[in-house]
Structure 1
C-alpha cells in the first residue's frame, strides 16, 4: 500500500552497496494490525447519502416522512414547476467503482410522473431531474430519459406502483445507468461534472416514493454488476502481449528475494523449467541469490522465535549488520527477544532482558513506538488478548525477518540498485500499480476506484469466507 509515510521514506537517502538498511525506510513498512485494518477505510473514507434532505427541497409540493426515506406529493399540479423534488443529504461518493441507489414506487398517483436521477447542488428544486442542465433523470410516465436538453429521449419502459427503480454512476466507464425491478434498463455517458446528488421527484396528487441508500438489500444485484464491470476492465489488460514466462520470473524473484529457498526449489520443479535469466541486468544469476541459504536459515530461526541463534549466525556470517549495537536491526532483534520471553510467560526474564538490552534504544527515532508498545505488554495479565497482542503474532516475527533479510541483502558488494534490498520486483510492481491507479483517479476529477493491495486482500478474504 502506498501511503504518505511510504512516499516520505522513498525520498530518503538510499543505502549504498555494502551498507546496512536505512532505519526510516524500514520503519515505513511497519504497521500494526490495527493500523492495517483502518488504513483502507481512512484512505477511502467518504460520507455516503443516508437519507433525504428535508431542508433543500421543494417543500411546497412534497412532504418527507419522519424517517427521511419517503416522500409524498401534497401540492396541486397546475404547471411544470409544481414538482416535489428531493435530493439526498449528501452527494454520491466518488472513490469507488460504482455508486447506486433505488426507489420504490409506493403509489404512482394521478399521473405517474415520478422520476429518479442525479442533480447538481445548484439544481432548481421545482423541476424534474433532467429538465435542467447539470442533471439527468429517468421518468416513469413516459419511460424517457432527460438530461438537460429540454426534451426527453426514448430510453426504457414506463414504471408505476409496485416497481423498484435504480439509478447509478459507473465511474469505470463514466456512465449513468438505470434499472427496473432488478434488471438493467440502459446506460448513457456521464457528461456532468462536479458533485452529484441522488434525486427523486413526485409531480401529481397521491404519488409516493421510498428510497433505499443501501441500508436494505437492493433489488438489483449491484455486487454482480460491479464484478462484471471490473472484469471488462481486466479483459483490456489481458489482451496485452507479455513474455510467456514473465509471471514465472516475477514469482520466482519474490521467493528469491525473501529467502524462501525450499519453496523456490519446489516452484521450479513444479514448473519443470530452467530458472529464467535476470532481465534487469542481463546476468545469468540474479543478485537475490546472494546469501540465499543463510537468509533461509535466518528467516526460519526468527519465525521460530530463536533470536539468540539469529544473533549468533549474523555474527558469524554478516557481522557488519550487527556491528553497531544501536542499529535498527539490533533494536528489532532485541525487542523481538523481549517479546519472545513474554510469549513464553517468562516475565522476570523479560524485565531483566529489557533493562539490559532495550534501555539504550529509548531515543531511537525510527522505532520508538514499537519499543514502547513492546514494553507495555508487561502491563497486561493476558498480553496476547490485549490491544498490543499483534506484537506476539507471527506477522511481527515476519516483519523482523524481512528487516534482517533486507539488511543482509544490502551487504552484497555487487548490488547496483540499493532499492532492491527493500522490495522485491513483485512489490515494486504493485507499488507502481497503486501509484498509477491513484494518478488515473486524479485525472478523472478524483472519481473512480483505485488499486490498494490491502483492500484487495480484505475483499478476497471476505469472498473466501462467504
Structure 2
C-alpha cells in the first residue's frame, strides 16, 4: 500500500512508520495520486503541483498489481470530494505525459555507442528518409522545395538495408527466412521503387490536393484519366469507397442535393459499388467498406448534418484520411507489378517503417516492465511538440515541480 498523510506530510510505501516527504495538507487543498509508469513509482500532487522527491517504487509482478484508491478520515463529519476524471484535474496530466516523453527522448538522444555514433555523423541519411516520406505521401511541391533547399539529388534513396539498393530481398540469394524474410523484402526501399514513385508523384499530389480542399469531383476525374484501373478494381478498394462517400458528404454538406437527388446519386454511384463488394470474397477491407457505406447512407436521416451525431464526417481530418488511403492505393495501381504494386506495404516509406518499429519496441518494453498496465505507447505522442516550461521551486523546504 502507498499513502500520503496530511497531518505531518509523511509518505508511506508498504510500511507503518513512513518517511518525511512533503508539505502537509488540510481543508481546501486538492491532493492527487498517480502511478508514473515510466519510472515505476507512485507520485503525489498538491494543488496542481507535482511533489518531489520520487519514491514508492512499484514492484514488477505477474499479473501486474491492481490499485484501489482509498481515503482515511479521522474527524467526525469530515467530507472529501473525489475526481476520477469526470472533470478536469487541477494537475496538468497532459503536460506531465509530455514531459515524461521528453525525458525519454533526451535519454535516447544523449546515448552514444559504436552503432549510434556514425548515424549522428551522417545527417544526410535523415534527409534521404524525409525525401522518401514526401515522395511516398505524394507531397510533390514540398518535395521539389526540399530538394532545392538540401541539394538532394533526384536519384538519391534511403538505405533501409544494403540489399535494398538493388531492389532485391534483404536475405541472401538462395536463403529464406519464411514469412519474416518475405515481409522484410516488402519493406525494403530500392532505387527502382523510388523511381516508380517519382514517375507518378505529381499526379498523386494533384489528386491529394483536390481531396484535401474538398473538390472530390476533380479528384475523381483525374483518377479516371490517370488511373482508370483504380475505380474498376474488384473488390473496390477501401480508399476508393471512402473517396466516393466523401463526394456524397461534400455535396450533402454544401446543400447541392435535396433528398430525392441524394437518393438518385446514391443509387447511381454507391449501390453498384456495394454490389461489387458483396459479390467478392469478404475480407477486413470489405467489412470496413460496407460499414462506411452504411454510415454515410445515414446522412439522409438528418436535415442539419453539422448538428447530428454524424457531424464528425464533416471534420477536415476525414479528407486527410481519404487522401492518404487513396494515395496508397494509387501507388499500387499506378506502379509496375515488379515493384510496388505487389506489396500491401506500398505506401510505407522508411519513416513509416522506423516509426512502427519504434512503437512495437516500446510496446514490448511496456509489457516487460509494467506488465501491460498503464498508457499504451502511441505514435501520436511522438509527433507533437513537448512542453518544456517546467522548473523546480521550493515550497515549505520541499522541492516541488512548478507547472
Same fold (TM over 0.5): yes
**Residue number in structure 2 paired with 1:401:** 323
Q: Contact conserved, 1:163 with 1:180, CA < 8 A, in 2? A: no
Per the TM alignment, residue 445 of structure 1 is displaced from its structure 2 partner at its CA by 1.8
CA-to-aligned-CA distance 1:439-464 (integer Å, 9 cap, x gap): 33322122333322457779989x9x
Distance 1:149 1:457 in 2: 41
Quote the Cα distance in structure 2 between the aligned partners of 1:218 and 1:353.
48
CA distance in 2, matches of 1:220, 1:341: 44
Q: Are 1:381 and 2:381 matched, yes or no?
A: no
Aligned match of 1:345 in 238, 253, 256?
256
What is the distance in 2 between the residues matched to 1:195 and 1:340? Answer: 48
Q: Report if aligned partners of 2:129, 2:158 keep a CA contact under 8 Å in 1.
A: no
**Equivalent position of 2:66 in the other structure:** 195
Q: Tell me if structure 2 keeps the 8 A contact 1:253–1:288.
A: no
Compared CA separation, residues 191 and 307, structure 1 to 2 (3 A): closer
- Alpha-carbon distance in 1 for matches of 2:255, 2:91: 53
Measured against aligned partners, the alpha-carbon deviations of 1:222-264 in whole angstroms (never above 9, x if no partner) come to 6665544433222111224334234433332222112110111
Partner secondary structure for residue 362 of structure 1: helix
1:263 aligns with 2:142: yes
Q: 1:318 aligns with which of 222, 227, 251?
A: 227
SS in 2 for 1:176: strand
Shift of 1:408: 2.2
Query: How far does residue 384 in structure 1 lie from its aligned partner after superposition?
Result: 4.4
Q: How far, CA to CA, are the matches of 1:431 and 1:327 in structure 2?
A: 27
Whether 1:155 aligns to 2:12 is no
Which residue of 2 is the match for residue 127 of structure 1?
none
1:421 and 2:346 aligned: yes
Q: What is the match of residue 10 of structure 1?
A: none
**Structure with more helix by fraction:** 2
User: Aligned in 2, Cα 1:253/1:144: closer, same or farther, shift over 3 Å?
Assistant: same
**RMSD of the alignment, in Å?**
4.2
Q: Is the 8 A contact 2:140 2:202 kept in 1?
A: yes
- 1:422–1:265: structure 2 CA closer, same or farther, 3 Å change rule? closer
CA 1:334 to 1:137, structure 2 compared with 1: closer, same or farther past 3 Å? closer
The 2-side partners of 1:141 and 1:396 are apart by: 53
Q: Deviations over 1:187-215 (max 9, x none)?
A: 32524452233444467x88968465467
Residue number in structure 2 paired with 1:232:
103
Conserved 8 A contact 2:246-2:319: yes
* SS of match in other structure, 1:197: coil
How far did 1:418 drift? 1.1
SS at match of 1:418: coil
Structure 2: unaligned runs, 5 residues or longer: 166-189, 278-285, 390-403
Q: Could you tell me whether the CA contact under 8 Å between 1:437 and 1:451 is conserved in 2?
A: yes
How far does the alpha carbon of each residue in 1:7-53 deviate from its partner, in whole angstroms, 9 at most, with x for none? xxxxxxxxxxxxxxxxxxxxxxxxxxxxxxxxxxxxxxxxxxxxxxx
C-alpha distance in structure 1 between counterparts of 2:108 and 2:223, whole Å = 44
1:291 aligned onto 2:208: no
Gap change, CA 1:196 and 1:265, over 3 Å in 2: same
How has the CA–CA distance of structure 1 residues 418 and 197 changed in structure 2, closer, same or farther, with 3 Å as cutoff?
same
Cα 1:435/1:136, change in 2 over 3 Å:
same
Q: Deviations over 1:160-208 (max 9, x none)?
A: 76796665432211123456785734332524452233444467x8896
Measured at CA, do residues 208 and 361 of structure 1 come closer, stay the same or move farther in structure 2, by a change above 3 Å?
same
CA distance in 2, matches of 1:459, 1:183: 21
CA pair 389-170 structure 1, distance change in 2 beyond 3 A: closer
Partner residue of 1:186 out of 50, 53, 58: 53
Provide the secondary structure at the position in 2 that maps to 1:169. Answer: strand
Give yes or no for contact 1:179–1:186 (8 Å, CA) kept in 2.
Answer: no
Q: Which residue of 2 aligns with 1:37?
A: none
Q: Between Structure 1 and Structure 2, how many residues are aligned?
A: 326
Contact 1:175 1:190 in 2 (8 A): yes
Q: Deviations over 1:257-316 (max 9, x none)?
A: 121101111223334544642313224562432411221223234445555554444344
- Answer whether contact 2:42 2:58 (CA < 8 A) is retained: no
Deviation at 1:156, TM superposition (A): 3.3
The corresponding residue for 1:36 is none
| Unpaired segments ≥5 residues, structure 1 | 1-134
Which entry has the higher C-alpha Rg, 1 or 2? 1
| Residues in 1 aligned to 2:131 and 2:271: alpha-carbon distance in whole angstroms | 41
TM-score calculated relative to the size of structure 1: 0.56
Change (3 A) 1:344 1:426: farther
More strand by share: 1
Match of 1:84 in 2: none
Matched, 1:449 2:361: no
